[in-house]
Amino acid sequence: MTSTPPETDPNAAANEAVVTRIRRISVVSFLVMILGVGSVLAVIAFRLMTVPAAAPLMSGTVPAETGRVVSAVAADKSLTVTYQRDDGALIVIYDLRTLKETHRVTVGGPQVPRP
């Protein structure tokens, strides 16, 4: 038996070119993915490090009204206090920065007889 030498593949150069191109595309896509993940992590870290400082705590005294306090709500730079009195409800709104009264609303009041 005689052994024949292996034949050279005429497409070897073309195959090598395709493999080289696929490797280059894979490396580029991997680098783009790493860049994207890194930028997302950088934005998350930046936002965690630059949390705005909380507003300083305020203390003060609001003058007491006659009646029972039903509710007190602090929102949108104002403090709303609702009092229950014998003649109806009273809603007083204060400015949170100065604790000065800005609005006063009386709900209810004496009953007017109807004919």
Asked if residue 48 belongs to a domain, the reply is yes
Mean pLDDT of the chain: 85
The 10s digit of each residue's pLDDT in 24-46 is 999 999 999 999 999 999 999 99
Domain shared by 19 and 49, yes or no? yes
At 103, is the secondary structure helix, strand, or coil? strand
Query: 17-49 burial, b if ≥16 CB within 10 A, otherwise e?
Result: eeeeeeeeeeeeeeeeeeeeeeeeeeeeeeeee
Q: Tell me how far apart the alpha carbons of residues 13 and 57 are, in angstroms, rounded to a whole number.
A: 75
What's the pTM value of the predicted model, to 2 decimals?
Answer: 0.47
Asked if residue 38 belongs to a domain, the reply is yes
Structural domain boundaries enclosing 19 = 12-53
Number of independent structural domains in the chain: 2
Q: How many CB atoms neighbour CB 81 within 10 A?
A: 19
pLDDT at 66 over 70: yes
Under DSSP, the state recorded for 65 is: P
The proportion of the chain whose per-residue pLDDT surpasses 70, expressed as a percent, equals 89
